[in-house]
């Protein structure tokens, strides 16, 4: 029995190794370096960022080595055991650099293996010439960061170090960033309504009386038209942090009934998710109606939720299939390579002409997943539907580190596919150009002013 099992696993292994098919003649010597060089020098479109303003950081208590650990690294430091309040204190100026280091040291040392934290180490090395984060380096690193922010640091990183053409920002702050380079996406919070208080916030912001579901839709419409005038390039939704991505196609009467109940409730009582779901679902369809009329793509957070404690099944992209079926003309961009639902994402992007893959955030979640699934996506999904890079960072240094990860991994995949004769060297170059640059310009219509 044991022998049979061994034989079977040997056969399975051989089948795995043999999974490559050769379609093209094998490449000429030096193709690997030529592909790497091309990717290292190409212009990039960064499809998704949360950058904070440099002046905001200069006023904050985190313009020291903690700037590099405040986002993503913080998740793994807390996952390794540091409490949230203790971590928060390290982002203020109530402690010296050395006191901050002493507090974080055991958690940093426990978690420095993760890709979030490897990206930080690559960044400190390549941007600040410091190889390790420890008691001998944190003060020098902090000084270097402070000095950097006295210079034109954002442009230096984004333009000179990253060679980025466009940055698509998920945020409202337009006080920084070269307007030729920055584009913006808009989130709509009317989807999250669960209390009268939330309705009143929207009414106040839109300067409208909201007394019925029609008024609510009107408020959404006005907000949407204002967003178009301001030049937003896409609609973004991150509701998978709070609820399932399954949206029922709800009749207006049903949504209206719930909305009226909310309006007559006391201001502070929040309704349960099951009570408000039909209303939220209804509003999601109205948002997509507007996106459709404006020919605006919809970016959807799928997969892993940042921070601690969440329900991963809520963010499974397969929940969205009924929306894709109903709105065949709306471009749906699914974020984060759907981690860990990469196979599901393959089938959706293959099956629906209006579904696109965005690999933002992905390489620092898991480089090996990114590599594995980019292989699979290039075998299953047309290359004009894949966008390879979005840093997804609050601090600009993270974008640089993340981009180095992305370039290495995309190079690895394309080189491997050329080596196996699946694509030619020339095809690999064309794919790199598309997924790092041209696709995002086309899909998000970034050339429009």
- Residue numbers at the binding site for Zn ion (CB under 5 A): 392
Closest to Zn ion by CB, 47 or 112:
47
Smallest separation, CB 281 to Zn ion (Å):
23
Smallest separation, CB 440 to Zn ion (Å):
15
- Phi/psi of residue 302, each to 5°? -130, 155
Compute the Cα dihedral for 118, 121, 125, 127 and give only its sign: positive
Smallest separation, CB 182 to Zn ion (Å):
16
User: What sections of 129-178 are H helices per DSSP?
Assistant: 138-148, 153-155
Closest to Zn ion by CB, 335 or 422:
335
Q: Which helix (H) or strand (E) holds 15?
A: helix 2-17
Closest to Zn ion by CB, 358 or 392:
392
Question: Residue 164 in 3-state DSSP?
Answer: strand
| Distance, CA of 376 to CA of 373 (rounded, Å) | 5
Closest to Zn ion by CB, 342 or 391:
391
Closest to Zn ion by CB, 76 or 392:
392
Smallest separation, CB 49 to Zn ion (Å):
8
Tokens (6 digits) for 312 = 């991963």
Smallest separation, CB 244 to Zn ion (Å):
19
| Radius of gyration for the chain, computed over Cα atoms and rounded to the nearest angstrom | 24
Smallest separation, CB 102 to Zn ion (Å):
31
> What is the rounded end-to-end Cα distance, in angstroms, of the chain?
68
DSSP state, 68? Answer: G
CB–CB of 358/333 below 8 Å? yes
Smallest separation, CB 390 to Zn ion (Å):
8
Query: In Å, how far are 53, 376, 413 from 417, measured between CA atoms?
Result: 40, 11, 6
Closest to Zn ion by CB, 301 or 375:
301
Closest to Zn ion by CB, 71 or 375:
71
Q: Output the residue with the shortest Cβ distance to Zn ion.
A: 392
Ramachandran assignment for 232, one of left (phi > 0), alpha (psi -120 to 50 degrees), beta (any other): beta
| Distance, CA of 268 to CA of 353 (rounded, Å) | 44
């Amino acid at each position: 029995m044991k022998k049979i099992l061994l034989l079977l696993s040997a056969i399975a292994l051989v089948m795995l190794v043999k999974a490559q098919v050769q379609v093209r003649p094998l490449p000429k010597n030096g193709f690997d370096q030529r592909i790497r060089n091309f990717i290292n020098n190409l212009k990039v479109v960064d499809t998704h960022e949360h950058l904070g303003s440099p002046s905001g950081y200069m006023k904050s208590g985190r313009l020291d080595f903690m700037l590099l650990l405040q986002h993503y690294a913080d998740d793994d430091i807390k996952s390794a055991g540091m409490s949230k309040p203790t971590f928060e204190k390290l982002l203020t100026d109530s402690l010296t650099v050395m006191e901050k280091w002493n507090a974080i040291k055991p958690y940093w040392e426990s978690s420095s293996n993760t890709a979030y934290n490897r990206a930080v180490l690559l960044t400190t090395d390549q941007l600040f010439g410091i190889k390790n984060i420890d008691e001998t380096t944190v003060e020098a690193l902090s000084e270097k960061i402070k000095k950097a922010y006295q210079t034109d640091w954002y442009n230096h990183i984004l333009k000179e170090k990253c060679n980025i053409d466009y940055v698509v920002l998920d945020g409202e702050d337009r006080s920084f960033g070269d307007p030729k380079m920055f584009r913006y996406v808009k989130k709509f919070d009317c989807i999250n309504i669960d209390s009268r208080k939330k309705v009143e916030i929207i009414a106040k912001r839109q300067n409208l009386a909201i007394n019925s579901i029609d008024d609510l839709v009107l408020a959404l419409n006005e907000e949407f038209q204002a967003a178009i005038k301001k030049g937003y390039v896409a609609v973004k939704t991150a509701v998978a942090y709070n609820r399932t991505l399954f949206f029922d196609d709800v009749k207006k009467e049903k949504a209206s009934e719930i909305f009226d109940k909310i309006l007559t409730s006391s201001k502070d009582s929040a309704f349960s998710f099951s009570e408000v779901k039909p209303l939220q679902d209804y509003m999601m369809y109205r948002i997509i109606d507007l996106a459709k009329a404006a020919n605006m793509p919809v970016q959807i957070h799928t997969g892993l939720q940042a921070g601690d404690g969440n329900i991963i099944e809520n963010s499974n992209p397969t929940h969205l299939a009924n929306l894709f079926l109903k709105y065949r003309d709306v471009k749906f961009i699914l974020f984060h390579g759907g981690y860990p639902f990469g196979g599901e994402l393959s089938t959706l992007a293959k099956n629906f002409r209006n579904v696109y893959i965005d690999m933002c955030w992905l390489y620092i979640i898991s480089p090996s997943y990114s590599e594995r699934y980019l292989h699979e996506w290039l075998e299953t999904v047309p290359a004009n539907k894949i966008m390879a890079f979005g840093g997804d960072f609050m601090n600009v240094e993270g974008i640089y580190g993340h981009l180095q990860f992305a370039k290495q991994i995309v190079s690895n995949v394309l080189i491997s596919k050329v080596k196996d004769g699946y694509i030619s060297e020339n095809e690999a170059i064309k794919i790199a150009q598309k997924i790092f640059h041209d696709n995002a310009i086309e899909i998000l219509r970034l050339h429009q002013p």
